[in-house]
Structure 1
Amino acid sequence: MPTRIYLVRHGATDLTADDRFAGSSDVPLSDTGRRQVASLAERLRGEDLDAIYASPLQRTVETARILGVPHGLEPIAEPGLREIDYGHWEGLRRSEVESAFRDEYAIWQEDPFVIAPAGGESGVNVLNRALPLVRRIVERHRHRTVVVVSHKGTNRLLIGSLLGFDMRGYRDRLDQSPAALSILDFMSEVRPRLCLFNDVSHYQGHDFATGV
């Protein structure tokens, strides 16, 4: 029996809806985000969960708490799951970054895995803290099912690395919608099988599925 990881991105925030770089910015879920996560909690209600881990930022902890209520589980905060820090781009709209930091943004776009905005993190930095943590979680909960709540960038980096992708293209080739569910089955700490990716069927078609 594999160790199953339900990898979840937090629900929508006001910054998500505004297309802003919100990596290390500590913001709560929006009302839309809470409804998205509540739908996912209902979807997972019947699952036998061993633990819930979350990035310590508000939006991920809040997501994890909503998911944990039906199971009587409190989230375990893990700093290694934090989102990539965008340095001096934090809080800015993508269009504002493209305009104000044109050259820096162009270089970063070419290889966001290695290049970092001034004062921020590269994808390599994020994987150096997130990947060993996921392997420890798999080892700790062998043959059980665990929820891991993290962020758009961190989730994409984890999935891309675990599946052996060319990491220079992780932003272009992988997506993570708000409150999306991906499932990874680990036969060992380093051999996962991707069973589900970026699924939002728990809220797709609802009146709160847009504006994220």
Structure 2
Amino acid sequence: MSAVREFVVEADGGSRGNPGPAGYGSVVIDAATGETLVEAAEYIGIATNNVAEYRGLVAGLRAAHALDPAAPVHVRMDSKLVVEQMSGRWKIKHPDMKPLAAEAASIYPPGQVTYEWMPREQNKHADRLANEAMDAGKRGEKWSPSTSTADLDTGTGSRATREPGDAAAGAAKARAALAGGSARRGAAEPPRSAGLKAAADARAARNVAQAPTVGWGGADLGTPATFVLLRHGDTPLTPEKRFSGSGGSDPALTGAGRAQAERAAVALAARGTIQAVVSSPLIRCMETARTVADRLGLDVTIEDGLRETDFGAWEGLTFAEVQERHPDDLTAWLSSTDVRPTGGGESFDEVTHRVTAARDKLLAAYAGRTVLVVTHVTPIKTLVRLALGAPPESVFRMELSSASVSVVAYYADGNPSVRLLNDTAHLR
């Protein structure tokens, strides 16, 4: 009795413009040997990153099914969105993705396909195929192995579709299956063996060896956790520069603020890198976060530690009004980060303690992933200050505009890297 074969499908998709000229790439790998069995890629015209990624998944699953419909399949992708949605943990909200997800789910019976997220740098093979397909589309050509120029990053043999022994006809069948549908079957779920894990470990080891180094050191630190820090859009208090913290009226966005959030959503969708959205519990941040999350097809997670400072009796006042009414308290507050505003608000030291705890919680939850963190002026300044190792009074020397974007990456050795501060290009 022959052993049950197992496949690993690696898939990716990309769009140059999001939406823009798009293509996908897929590879089917023998889980026991690590051999590449089928490569597939296609230019699909104008589409988004997410649609291209789903198209790559469908193509890879159809190719694997044509090789052996009884084989268990382990899908590896760098799209957290696709992996979480196909695993049933995230809802599918975008109308362009719902039919593609349904098509992918129909190729195999429930339970026969498992999903795993992997860092982008480990998905080089499928990523390269997707880019080759887009390049071919730009030339007005159809992708085929003969149009490729680079050697394989993983697997063995030539760039053409491969299948060992007399099973080459199976590979041809897999290629043909990419052009048509594949009916859902009712076979019993086959068990997974250790072959999947062994092949995945071998590929991960190869990719670690190829990964670029970070900073001056020679060690590979892996994919950092990256916080894309988005300040909320305008509220009625923002243009007048009034103190607006967590102890005030909790204002909502204005029409201008909603427009800023929409522009930020478009720009962040074009990046194609956001894998999760986390927000302060205050209304202005939740509205901003939901605007972006809806465009990305993600849900919003609330983190209380990201709320703005409680400015006590200063809530709703301008700086000039506070200076007139509470001059001594304001002078003391500006002189030391351990001084609270009038009326029992929070000191900046207290906010730092709270934000640090929230940061550490998010780093543990989103290791190696890119997270949109929608919050306020003080938490963003605090995260940047801590990443730079700057003194506490540096929070008074940063400017953060409404709906601006800042970025901090956190590496495995504990060293952060500030990559962007107060970017507002998307608003112009």
TM score, norm. by length of structure 1? 0.91
Does residue 146 (structure 1) correspond to residue 368 (structure 2)? The answer is: no
Instruction: For residue 7 of structure 1, give the secondary structure of its aligned residue in structure 2.
Output: strand
Equivalent residue number for residue 420 of structure 2:
196
**C-alpha offsets along residues 129-166 of structure 1, whole Å, 9 cap, x if unaligned?**
11121122122111111000110112111211221101
Tell me the distance in 2 between the aligned counterparts of 1:144 and 1:123. 28
Instruction: For residue 8 of structure 1, give the secondary structure of its aligned residue in structure 2.
Output: strand
Structure 1 unaligned blocks of 5 or more: 205-212
Equivalent residue number for residue 164 of structure 1:
389
Tell me the distance in 1 between the aligned counterparts of 2:245 and 2:414. 27
Which of 313, 316, 324 lines up with 1:99 in the alignment? 324
Which of 214, 218, 240 lines up with 1:18 in the alignment? 240
Tell me the distance in 2 between the aligned counterparts of 1:189 and 1:95. 44
Tell me the distance in 2 between the aligned counterparts of 1:201 and 1:138. 27
Which of 3, 20, 37 lines up with 2:261 in the alignment? 37
What amino acid is aligned across from residue 349 of structure 2 in structure 1?
V
Tell me the distance in 2 between the aligned counterparts of 1:60 and 1:184. 19
State the structure with more CA Rg: 2
Structure 2 contact 235–254 (Cα < 8 Å) conserved: yes
Which of 341, 347, 350 lines up with 1:117 in the alignment? 341
Tell me the distance in 2 between the aligned counterparts of 1:114 and 1:190. 26
Instruction: For residue 61 of structure 1, give the secondary structure of its aligned residue in structure 2.
Output: helix
What amino acid is aligned across from residue 13 of structure 1 in structure 2?
T
Tell me the distance in 2 between the aligned counterparts of 1:38 and 1:60. 13
* Count, aligned residues: 202
Equivalent residue number for residue 310 of structure 2:
85
Could you list the runs of 4 or more consecutive aligned residues of structure 1 that deviate by over 4 angstroms after TM superposition? Answer: none
Tell me the distance in 2 between the aligned counterparts of 1:122 and 1:34. 30
Query: Between the two proteins, what is the percent identity of the paired residues?
Result: 35
Equivalent residue number for residue 274 of structure 2:
49
Structure 2 unaligned blocks of 5 or more: 1-222
Tell me the distance in 2 between the aligned counterparts of 1:109 and 1:136. 29
Instruction: For residue 116 of structure 1, give the secondary structure of its aligned residue in structure 2.
Output: coil
Q: What's the RMSD between the two structures over aligned residues?
A: 1.3
Instruction: For residue 291 of structure 2, give the secondary structure of its aligned residue in structure 1.
Output: helix
Structure 2 contact 235–253 (Cα < 8 Å) conserved: yes
**C-alpha offsets along residues 83-130 of structure 1, whole Å, 9 cap, x if unaligned?**
00100111111111000001111111112x211113100111111111
